[in-house]
Structure 1
Amino acid sequence: MKKITPLCFISLLLSLPFIIFYQPWVNALPPTPRHASPEQLEKTVRYLTQTVHPRSADNIDNLNRSAEYIKEVFVSSGARVTAQDVPIAGGPYKNIVADYGPADGPLIIIGAHYDSVSSYENDQLTYTPGADDNASGVAGLLELARLLQQQAPKTGVQLVAYASEEPPFFRSDEMGSAVHAASLERPVRLMIALEMIGYYDSA
């Protein structure tokens, strides 16, 4: 049995809006193919790793600028966008939530965290660029937003950019994803986390 390559997996993931939600009429002409933009993927990664670096918990201004960038892309895609407060010390931290399709019924949730990690090495605080972990996931999330803009899904879809996923909040109820999950009132059909999808050098 052949193994699926990471590049194929990412391509399939970015094809989700077409695969899951397109339901053609009988004898209808095939739809125009929709593709993710490698240029946009790279633009997002560069913005998050260079313009607003570092994005660790102690750099709240850069996190807020990151959240605003994500929000602008979501709004331009035609989504219903909300900023969800993550009420923890050191904030304000915010999840950015974009809704597509029906406003009730089951949800498909696709999320990615936009913060990055910091650590101490030889008693010095160091900051990672956070390119793979997790600017790459955010780039994929924003490309899904652009693809969803082209055709509204028939099932509710929620794209979520999570705050406060890295230490000191990792594995706690203060993670942005935990706060978001606790707030959900609609049944969830599927959840996909876009985490470190940029390990390979090709989009």
Structure 2
Amino acid sequence: MPTRRTVLTTATATAATAATASALAASPAQAAEGTGSRAATTQPPSRELRSLLREIDPARIEATVRKLASFGTRHTLSSQDDPARGIGAARDWILGELRTYAAASGGRMTAELQSYVQEPTPRIPTATRITNVLATLRGSTDPNRVYVVSGHYDSRASDVMDAVSDAPGADDDASGVAVAMELARVMARRRPAATIVFAAVAGEEQGLFGAAHMAERFKAAGADLQGMFTNDIVGSSKADDGTSDPYTIRLFTEGVPSSETPEQAALRRSVGGENDSATRQLARFVRDTADNDATGMHVRVIYRRDRYLRGGDHIPFLERGFAACRFTEPAEDFAHQHQDVRVEDGKQYGDLPEFCDFPFIARVARVNGAALWTLANAPGTPKSTKIVTTNLTNSTELVWDRGTDADLAGYEVVWRETTAPEWTHLVRVGDVTRHEIDLSKDNVFFGVRAVGRSGLRSPVAFPTPQR
């Protein structure tokens, strides 16, 4: 067993990121430490991933945004059977595009409508059919493990109940739909190990209804859904004061899960881990895999569920116990959001394509793509991860279930000071389901992540006490 001094001081992060499956057999004393602002868990992009990200096309994204805006309004209460205007026309166009992508997949991708009738609510005056458009790329070796990326294709005018006025919804949220659709196009011809669902959902502006229906369907099916990203308002880098931050994307990520029972919340408070929900680990994974030169973006993680007074389609997933995050542009220009199309003092207002930055949206798509592709090809997040607390001791014992992933090579234990936001140290422990380390569980936070033979790592699993 390594000494505390050995574990805390040996090696560098480059040893960890360069390690492959063969290195997993190395001595546990060979711990890696993060360097500078980079976490010890950082994963550099592979040649395959770089090739995938280069295929993301700003021109195609622009064409998608402009096409969606051309339907005039996509309000949830607008026409569902007009072939040229309204949400029904947009729905049918999205389905047609996704079916075109699926045709190039060799049968691995399917495209479908997911519909239900929403009974009246404050923003739905009469029973209304709400339809999500989904493309599912089935995993080649671990198809039951699922990841979701979405944008909402409904739009709104200033009056949320106005289903008649023009509401082009270019930024909110044709931009997010364009991200999901472009990723579907690029990934359709590839073979991820796990399943990826590309979704354009409806009913967001009226109450997150489409996403709630999709999340409930996954929950009822007992799906092993290990991560969800929604892209909502990702069309521009400009703020309402004219300043711009074109190489930053915000990622909102909840801490203590809203789905926890009072007993689970009390246990979390007793041992710490308020910053270690599955969603926070997912956000760290995005930083580890997508904040780099291959995407050209900095991922600014916000430790908050969403912005004040607003919410997005990740929330229904959070409420059902799934890890889910929201991507949103760095600073919103409220003058062009939820505004009726109009001209005042010679200036045009409204959520129009002219106010979108299409290379920026492409970079956001690359961030999503880097995280999703790595998630879907790394082993799944370790399950039943526990920290043994039966005895008073200054060492720490961790246990977990062995995954069934075909590519699984072994595991790594990570840790950090309780005041640190990122994982700072790791040690390779091999293909085992138990590891003891000569550090006190009272002083630091621990986690476990799986490693594939390709060298790709899963998100970290935070342990709960085993008494």
AA matched with 1:153: P
CA distance in 2, matches of 1:98, 1:58: 24
The alpha-carbon deviation at position 32 of structure 1 amounts to 7.3
The alpha-carbon deviation at position 104 of structure 1 amounts to 3.9
Give the structure with the larger helix fraction: 1
Q: TM-score, normalised by structure 1?
A: 0.75
Q: Is the 8 A contact 1:106 1:187 kept in 2?
A: yes
CA distance in 2, matches of 1:192, 1:163: 16
CA distance in 1, matches of 2:178, 2:52: 23
* Bigger Rg over Cα: 2
Aligned length: 172
Residue by residue over 1:14-33, the C-alpha shift from the partner in whole angstroms, topping out at 9 and shown as x without a partner, is xxxxx69x69xxxxxx9676
CA distance in 1, matches of 2:90, 2:170: 13
Q: Is the 8 A contact 2:117 2:127 kept in 1?
A: no
Following superposition, which runs of at least 4 residues in structure 1 exceed 6 angstroms of deviation?
none
CA separation of 1:151/1:67 partners in 2, compared to 1, >3 Å: closer, same or farther? same
CA distance in 2, matches of 1:192, 1:58: 26
Residue by residue over 1:147-199, the C-alpha shift from the partner in whole angstroms, topping out at 9 and shown as x without a partner, is 112312111101111011102xx25xxx1000000001211111000111112
SS at match of 2:144: coil
CA distance in 2, matches of 1:202, 1:67: 22
Q: Quote the residue 1:135 is aligned against.
A: 174
CA separation of 1:33/1:92 partners in 2, compared to 1, >3 Å: closer, same or farther? closer
Residue by residue over 1:61-100, the C-alpha shift from the partner in whole angstroms, topping out at 9 and shown as x without a partner, is 3211111111112111122122111311453321111110
Percent identity (aligned): 25
Match of 1:67 among 84, 87, 91: 91
Q: TM-score, normalised by structure 2?
A: 0.34
CA distance in 1, matches of 2:182, 2:114: 21
CA separation of 1:155/1:202 partners in 2, compared to 1, >3 Å: closer, same or farther? same
CA distance in 2, matches of 1:193, 1:32: 20
Q: Is the 8 A contact 2:145 2:224 kept in 1?
A: yes
Q: Is the 8 A contact 1:86 1:95 kept in 2?
A: no
SS at match of 2:174: helix
Which sections of structure 1, spanning at least 5 residues, go unmatched? 3-18, 24-29
AA matched with 1:75: R
CA distance in 1, matches of 2:59, 2:75: 25
CA distance in 2, matches of 1:101, 1:57: 29
Match of 1:91 among 97, 116, 128: 128
The alpha-carbon deviation at position 101 of structure 1 amounts to 2.2
Instruction: Give the number of the structure with larger relative contact order, counting CA–CA contacts within 8 Å between residues 6 or more apart.
Output: 1
CA distance in 2, matches of 1:161, 1:32: 22
Aligned runs of 1:9-158 on 2, under 5 Å? 34-50=54-70, 52-61=71-80, 62-78=86-102, 79-88=109-118, 89-102=126-139, 104-120=143-159, 126-158=165-197
Q: Quote the residue 1:16 is aligned against.
A: none
